[in-house]
Structures are given as structure tokens and as C-alpha cells.
Structure 1
Amino acid sequence: MSHPFDPGYVAEPFLTLCSEYPGADVYPPDQFRTEWGPIFHRGRLDGSARILVIGQDPAQHESVIRRCLVGEAGRRAQGLLRKLGVTRSYVVINTYLYSVYGSVKARTRKDPRLVDYRDRWIHALLAGGRIEVVLAFGRVADEAWRFWKATPAGESIDVGYAALTHPTQPESASNGDKVKLAEATTALLRNWNKALQAVAPRVQHPDVPTPFIAYGDAWADDDRIGIPEFDFPAGLPAWMREQDGWARRVGPDDLAKRRNITIRIPKGVLT
């Protein structure tokens, strides 16, 4: 059985970008979990990507796998990409290289060193002229794109663009309230429908031509789909790709949780 995988950062400019990333002097440790290292991307770096997705910041699953948007948010985003007919030709980066700890100050968000390094990634991914659509999940991702568009290089780029509600915003906003969760989910899906209708005409080279089918008012069974094996580093266990919940920040206080990511193989994997 063949196991396709992502070969990683094998060519320029990504080799240099991965060797010149900013650290704690740019990403303050009181605002970011810099101790877990930077997470750079997920998807195609060979110039074949047609959609660029900008996420927010890595969670614990991403810190283990070293790829962006690999948890529940990633599966929901994957379903959205499929509605555009894009099953392979995409690339994902985050607004921030490191997981957010607490909140990010405005001064940090606008630090030229942080912004300039992120802009180098966006420029590298758009340089070939093959990206047709950019999707930004969440407010800070939208801000990241607007910062880029204000640069001389950004002003000359013509791509479809949509700012979307973050895939797991309903869970974070509802705080366990089922009624609020349902309402927030409906609002998210309406936001996504509007965005899809706006950018779908700009996707001129889908992997699989797909007629537009709108989301309903709640998640349907096939709205979230698995992330393909070819997006991950070689040899990653299948259970890390197929479900959530195997990585948790554990500890009696915030500092202990920051120091610890506990990995537990899900039930059913071992007999």
C-alpha cells in the first residue's frame, strides 16, 4: 500500500523562509507559546496551489504534527474547499507562527518584523500568479491579508478574496450553551455561503468541477471531511489524521498546561 506524504520544504524560497523565522524577540512569550516552535504551512508549495487559506494560529494538534489547520477547524475548512472543487490545489498558512497565549496586543500585531516575515510567505505563494482565490478565516487573518494588500506588491495582485468566520468560532463563542452554539453555527454557515458565492466564479481551475451546493442551517454529515494523507509528513500515524481529541494541554494551572501536551492513542486503535 502506498502512503503519499508532504516532502516538506525542499526548494527556495521556502528553505530560506524556514531558516529565518522570527522567535521570542518578535513573538513575546507572554502572548505566544514560542516554546513549541513555529508551524509554517499545510498544502502545496510546488506552485500548483489555486487557493491560499490564511488561518489564525496553531493549536496543540498542529504543534505535534507541524502542519496548519489539521484539527476540527481543518476538516471543516477542507469541506469548504471541496465545495469550490479544490481537493488538492491549496496551501494554508497562519496569521501567527506560534500558538496564541491569552491575547495578542495591537503593538505586537503591527510589529513590522512579524508582518514583514508573514508578507514574505504570502509573496512567495502568490509570486507564480497561479493563486486565484484567498480565504481568510477570522478577524486577524483578514487583517493579515489587508496588511499585505497595502504593500506595493499586494496592490498589484488581483485575486478573489473572502473574509470568513473562523471554522470553530461557534464553539468558542457559545461557551457550552447549546442554543448559542446552534445560533452561531447557523450564522457561520450563512457567512460561508455568501463567501462561496462571491469567490466561486474566480476558481477557474478546480481539481474537480463541482456545482455549488449551499450549506444548510446546521452542519451536515459530509460538511466536514478528512484531511488527505498527502498533506502530512511521512510516516504520520493514521489516527492522528483521522480524528481529534488525542492531544490535550493538561495540568493544574496555566503554566503547567503550557508546559504539557498529553498525547493519547484513541480507543479502537489498540485491541
Structure 2
Amino acid sequence: MSLSFDPGYDLMPFQELVDRAPDSTVYPFDSFRTEWGPIFHRGRLDGTARMLCIGQDPAQHEAIARRILIGTAGHRVQGFLSKLGLTRSYVLLNTFLYSVYGQTGGNQHINDPAITVYRNQWLAAIMGTGMIEAVVAFGTLADAAWQKFIADPSGTSFAQVAYQHVPHPTSAEGHGGTPEQVAAATKVLLEKWNSAIQALRPAIKHPDASQPFVPYGINFAPADLITIPRFDLPAGMPAWMCGDDGWATRTGVSAGDKRKTITIEVPPGVIP
């Protein structure tokens, strides 16, 4: 029977990996929001995942739900997976365990040996099931994480797995600019996503659903933003946390205030 919630880290080697997650001695406070704790993954760790997605770092929604890629970026990734016919058989891992603090924190620490070694152990455990048929990296740092893994002795045997590097789901907005510039960047992003999906679909031999590929248009349509499944979240999480309602925001006047404060608001319509 498939559980309607994520059972967590009850299997080896993930249980042991979680127990020895690196702390602020490896992820320094001046570059990472280590105070919110490590956030490890989302998806299947039981050997049924067919697709590995690599993200970059968790944000405020993830800090509350304790699973990665559940905010705006997560809903876009869920749509990407859906276009590959994957509704359950996937696992998502981030480049960094902690939210990056500051504009350059990730770039400064992408080559840190201790961060790389621990991340490679997660990648090796996931790939070692022998069930992963394709890998996608969302963003430059995620691509660097994969390249470091397949250059390491623990990952060289997986270098031939179908792989695509695509722009991060929110990179168009993240780079700033006028609305016209954001729209143009989004169009380019979706063109690259369309190409990546077409390249990956033949590699997915065991999709959860067989369906024709419906390409993205020039912007994200409502149908492209898929609700996070309840079975990806820990038991007891409310259903509204699966939605893309902006229910968690960093609040405060100063950067320090925003770092230590996340405001959660139940979306409209939940309370009668």
C-alpha cells in the first residue's frame, strides 16, 4: 500500500546520513541560514524513484515543511515532472542542505570539500538503487553538483545516465529587470525546458502515466503549476501547505530580522 505521507528517513543509508548531517562548522553562518536546520530531500527514498532532480537550496516554505522544492520553484518542477509522465516516481535533492544567505554564498562554497563529500554520499545512495533512469539539474550550482559527483569515484559509473541541465525554475524573476525582460527570460527558460523534456522522455522507460507531451508556451500556464502531493510531505502537514499560495514569507525591516523571522499565514478560504 502506498502511504499518503512521506515516512521520512527510516531506511539505510539515509537514516545514518541524516544523523550526521553537517552543521555550521561546514556550512558557515555568514553564507547559510544554518539556524533553520538541514532540509534533505523530497520524494521517494525506497528505491522506486526513476528520476533524480537536483535543486540548489531551500527557502522559507521548505524550512517549515521540512521538504525541498515546495514553493513556487517546486510547483514549476512538479509540472516539469508531470510532462515526463512522473507523478510519484521521483526524488529531489538540493545542492546545499541549508538556505543560502547573501548573493554569493552558494558560489563561494560550491567547491568546499566537506559539503561535496556529504552531498556525493546522498547522490551515491540514490543512484545506487539502480532504478534512476534520468537526472536533471535546475540551475548552475545544481549542474556543478552533478559534475562533481560523476568526477568522483563514487559517481563515475553514472556518467552515462541521461542528463540535462536547465535553468532554475525562478531564474527569470531572480535576475530582475523590467516586466518585459522577465517575460523574455521566462520564454527562453521554457524553450530550454521543452528541449530538455524531449531529450529525457525516451530515457524514462517506466513513467507513472503515459501521456503525450504538451510543450510549455511563452509563460507558465496554470496547468503547468502542479500541486505538491500530500505523499511528499511528513504526516500531519495541512493540505494548504501543498498549494502555491505564498503562505510563508520572510518578514522584518532589516536583513537580520528577515533572516530570523518567517511569517506563516493560512490562505483565504481554508477557515470557514
TM beyond 0.5: yes
The reply to whether residue 47 of structure 1 matches residue 47 of structure 2 is: yes
Partner-residue secondary structure (3-state), 2:105: coil
Q: Is the contact made by 2:13 and 2:125 (CA closer than 8 Å) also made in structure 1?
A: yes
The equivalent of 2:173 in structure 1 is 171
Paired-residue identity, %: 52
CA-CA distance at 1:183 after TM superposition: 0.4
Quote how far apart the aligned CAs of 1:108 are.
2.2
Corresponding residue for residue 245 of structure 2: 244
Query: CA distance change for structure 1 residues 243 and 217 in 2, over 3 Å: closer, same or farther?
Result: closer
Q: Which residue of 2 aligns with 1:214?
A: 215
Q: Any stretches of 5+ residues in structure 1 without a counterpart?
A: none
Secondary structure at 2:136 match in 1: strand
> In the alignment, which residue of structure 1 is the partner of 2:192?
191
1:5-47 Cα offsets, whole Å, 9 max, x none, are 0110011000000001111111111000000000000000000
* Count of residue correspondences: 269
TM alignment of 1:247-266, pairs within 5 A: 247-266=248-267
**Within 1, Cα distance between the matches of 2:179 and 2:24?**
38
In the TM superposition, what is the alpha-carbon distance from 1:172 to its structure 2 partner?
1.1
Distance 2:83 2:267 in 1: 30
1:16 counterpart SS class? helix
Q: Name the counterpart of 2:109.
A: 108
How far residue 221 of structure 1 moved from its aligned partner, in angstroms, is 2.4
C-alpha displacement of 1:147:
0.2
1:210: Cα distance to partner? 2.0
- The one-letter code sitting in structure 1 at the alignment partner of 2:36 is W
Partner of 1:32: 32
Distance in 2, Cα, partners of 1:56 & 1:262: 23
- Kindly indicate whether residue 13 of structure 2 is the aligned counterpart of residue 16 of structure 1: no
**In structure 2, C-alpha distance between the alignment counterparts of 1:57 and 1:105, rounded to whole Å:** 9
Name whichever of 79-88 and 241-250 sits farther off.
241-250
Does the residue aligned with 1:134 lie in a helix, a strand or coil?
Answer: strand
Instruction: Trace 1:77-156 onto structure 2 (pairs within 5 A).
Output: 77-102=77-102, 103-104=104-105, 106=107, 108-156=109-157
User: Is the Cα contact below 8 Å between 2:186 and 2:219 reproduced in 1?
Assistant: yes
In the alignment, what sits opposite 2:56?
Answer: 56
User: Distance in 2 between the 1:108 and 1:76 partners?
Assistant: 26
- Cα distance, 1:88 vs. partner? 0.4
User: Distance between the aligned counterparts of 2:3 and 2:195, measured in 1?
Assistant: 37
Q: Partners in 2 of 1:105 and 1:62 — Cα distance?
A: 17
SS in 2 for 1:195: helix
Deviations 1:139-159 (A, max 9, x none): 000000000010123221131
* Paired residue type of 2:4: P
**How far did 1:187 drift?**
0.6
> Post-superposition shift, 1:3?
8.0
Query: Is 1:160 the equivalent of 2:162?
Result: yes
d(CA) in 2 for partners of 1:3, 1:241: 16
Deviation of the 1:198 alpha carbon: 1.4
Q: TM-score, normalised by structure 2?
A: 0.96
Shift in alpha-carbon separation, 1:15–1:86, aligned structure 2, 3 A:
same
What is the CA distance between 1:105 and its match in structure 2?
A: 6.1
Measure the CA separation in 1 of the matches of 2:107 and 2:174: 21
Q: In the alignment, what sits opposite 2:204?
A: 203
TM-score by length of 1: 0.96
Distance 2:62 2:199 in 1: 30
Q: SS state of the match for residue 99, structure 2?
A: coil
